[in-house]
Amino acid sequence: MWTKPWLIVITLAICLPSFAQHKNFIPLPVARFITGDQPAWSSMSFDDQSWKEIRTGKVWQEQGYDSYHGYAWYRIHIKIPSALRNKGFWKDSLRIFLAHVNDVDATYLNGVKIGQTGNFPDDKEGYVSKWPAVREYHVAVNSPAIHWDEENVIAIRDYDGGGSGGIFMGEPYIDMLEKTDGLTISMPADEIKYLSNGKATQPLMVSNGFNTSITGTLAYTVTDNHNDLIHRKIELQLAPYGRQSFILDLPNREGITCKYSFTEKSSGLQLQQQQTFPYILTPRVSDHPRINTAKVYGVKPGSPFLFKIAATGIKPLKYKIDQLPEGLLLDEQTGIITGQLNKKGNYATVIHVSNAIGTATQTFTIKVGDTLAFTPTMGWNSWNCWGINVSAAKVQSSAKAMLEKGLADHGWNYINVDDGWEAPARAADSSILTNSKFPDMQGLGNWLHLHGLKFGIYSSPGPLTCGGFLGSYQAEEKDARTYAGWGVDYLKYDWCSYESIVGKDTSLNAYIEPFRIMQHALRAQQRDIIYSICQYGLKDVWKWGGEVGGQSWRTTEDIEDTWESLEHIGFSQDKLQQYVSPGHWNDPDMMIVGKVGWGENLHPTRLTPDEQYTHVSLWCLLAAPLLIGCDLDKLDDFTLSLLTNDEVLAIDQDELGKQAKRISANVWVKELADGSRAVGIFNMDTTYRNITVNWKELGLNNYRQMRDVWRQQNIGPLQSSFTKQIAPHGVMLIKLIP
């Protein structure tokens, strides 16, 4: 990468909370584009007139290259005026910002390589996808690579290993690097202390990432819906790589916003941000026993039975079941049921969970037959945090956290390993092998089962997975047998390189076929393996996913931790309700709460707290599989509260198995088994809004009582209409009780 001594190139593979360019930035919205790969395309003098024009901030699949994966080049022509340099304060480095690139890039300025992120398949280290990394390359102003006041060519060699391709999640630009670019101001959610008096302490941290000191003024204002609660100005001097932190005392309630700025003394440059305080709505878990397990559970005849009853309350808890069918055994201390049932049928049981202060009781029907996942899967998946850097140790640490932080007591039970576990070559007998990060897959499965958790794995019907690992193409039966041997309970089966197999055959059958093959392979195993189809909604998968044995199917491309992505994916699920029923679920992708990062520098989700309430509420209304995508070991109290609200989760796990319908611009309604309705009232705006719901107009006036589901409190009897001020991108989740 360091091709010439005079060229300063720094690769910043960091995920920034926002991509802040300076006032004098020059946007790079378009490029010339071609698929394929030739070294000459990096050169300044290459004639690219015949190449097509493409937008830079959007994947190429959305711009006429639908099913293309592999190498492609962008060439951006840009005049770089010396005025840009002169306006900078430091005047020493030009920044070339490229946002994210699917999946690997090497970037050249006038033929000089200025950076690379990830490894190309032909690099000697082998293919490494780095799409989550932000590309920011810096070039010294005196580098001859920059042609000041003349035309320059930024050439980007790009390799897409599957999924989406190209520059995305932000628009590229160039500007001058400034002193404040090394500064970060943050209010880390995992350092908040929620106190029992309705208050919280939150550190505000300022840190300098550059090797030079920085002086200026830090100002922060805390407001409670427009009224200032705290206002402070502090003169600061931060040492090279130094940091300082200030503790704020805040009320733990909705609408608290902290605005902060740092003004650098010599340049006057200012960094400004604002953050909403992550207020907790979920009430504290009661000491009294409460059963949080879904009311129905499906198993196939003859399959090993493993089920852990989810219950909260002061420990120790004692579990009992009435009418437990013969063949099953309950561990009264752990609530884990094991055994085997051979005869089809419905077995109605009653669960009792007791502790020193009381007993909770709930009906629980075990349905032995062909249907699995009577309620959507609840668990954890490694992808959104670890990407292909997943390892057995990381999986086990999240599994431990699922148990120790009490998530399992609220119904979370699947631990799913996504892409990145596979060895580069199969065994001599063509069995799939694990790589060195997973030394003992069967041991991992046993460990999970011992603790009542389930074990999920990932593969592709193609020769390679999206991460470039071995897929199951032409080894489906062998792989299904291997998974069963390891004790796998869940398979995510991801289209990826099957694109190359299907080729030009666009028939429906060609798209269904690979999933049918794995369906048969799974069915041949004496084990219940949930089949999670992942092909981003191709050929209306919701219409046939159930027929090929799928318990769920992804309906869209991959989710990211931004409001745009959440809004686009979550609110586009309308019209798909009819394809949902117990055992058959639309999957709008994994959750983006907590610390995520797809394997690189985990960062707190970029969703605001209100957007996160919207996310969890919407996924539950949609009866979506709930797969947590963050590092559970680093779970903060706010995220934990989002994931452990039993009344909210019960909406997702409702045994009627309906998906919510959008009945007006802001309102989604889900029918529940007990005759009540869950209603999500969403504010899609960026400011607070009073939203009025007229129950009669919506045909919902026959209910008696309204309950605030997040706060777990009755609001009062149903009136003809209901008005509520809702936070920007926020939600009010209500239950209408008959």
Please give the residue ranges that form the binding site for ligand GAL (CB under 6 A): 163, 383, 418-419, 458, 465-467, 494, 496, 534, 558
Q: Which of 691, 704, 673, 676 lies closest to 731 in space, CA to CA?
A: 691
105, 158, 479, 494: the catalytic one is 494
Alpha helices in 362-440 (DSSP H): 383-386, 392-404
CB nearer to ligand GAL: pick between 587 and 652: 587
Q: Output the CA torsion sign for 458, 460, 464, 468.
A: negative
The whole-angstrom separation of Cα 355 and Cα 653 is 25
Tell me which residue of 542, 551, 133 sits closest to 379, measured CA to CA. 551
Helix (H, G, I), strand (E, B) or coil at 296: strand
Nearer to ligand GAL among residue 143 and residue 465 (C-beta): 465
- Residue 98: which of 2, 25, 50, 169 has the closest Cα? 169
Task: Tell me if 329 sits within 8 A of 339, measured CB to CB.
Answer: yes
The H-or-E segment that residue 510 falls in is helix 508-523
The answer to whether 258 and 277 are in contact (CB under 8 A) is yes
User: Residue 318 or residue 437: which is nearer to ligand GAL going by CB?
Assistant: 437
Task: Please report the DSSP string for 514-561 in residue order.
Answer: HHHHHHHHHHTSSS--EEEEESTTGGGGGGTTTTTT-SEEE-SS---S
CB of 464 to ligand GAL, least distance (A): 10
Cα distance between residue 388 and residue 715, in whole Å = 46
Residue 380 CB, nearest distance to ligand GAL (Å)? Answer: 13
Angle formed at CA 687 by CA 686 and CA 690, multiple of 5 degrees: 125
CA distance 170 to 184: 19
Smallest gap, in angstroms, from Cβ of residue 164 to ligand GAL? Answer: 9
Which of 43/435 has CB closer to ligand GAL?
435
Sort strands 731-737 and 705-708 into parallel, antiparallel or unpaired.
Answer: antiparallel
Tell which residue, 465, 449, 453, has the closest CA to residue 163: 465
Peptide bond into 463 cis (omega under 30): no
**Closer Cβ to ligand GAL, 136 or 589, answer by number:** 589
Nearer to ligand GAL, 360 or 548 (CB): 548
Residue 5 CB neighbours (<10 A): 6
Closest residue to ligand GAL, judged by C-beta, is: 466
Residue 555 or 644 with smaller CB distance to ligand GAL: 555
558 part of the active site:
yes
Query: 216 or 467, CB closer to ligand GAL?
Result: 467
Residues whose CB falls within 8 Å of the CB of residue 540, separated by 6 or more in sequence, listed in order: none
User: Is 37 a catalytic site residue?
Assistant: no
The CA angle 450-452-454, to the nearest 5 degrees, is 100
Q: Where are the beta strands (DSSP E) in 326-426?
A: 328-330, 336-340, 345-355, 358-368, 378-381, 414-416
Tell me if residue 365 falls in helix, strand or coil: strand
In the complex, the smallest distance separating the C-beta of residue 395 from ligand GAL, rounded to whole angstroms, is 15
CB of 16 to ligand GAL, least distance (A): 22
Query: Which among 181, 558, 587, 646 is annotated as catalytic?
Result: 558
Active site residues: 494, 558
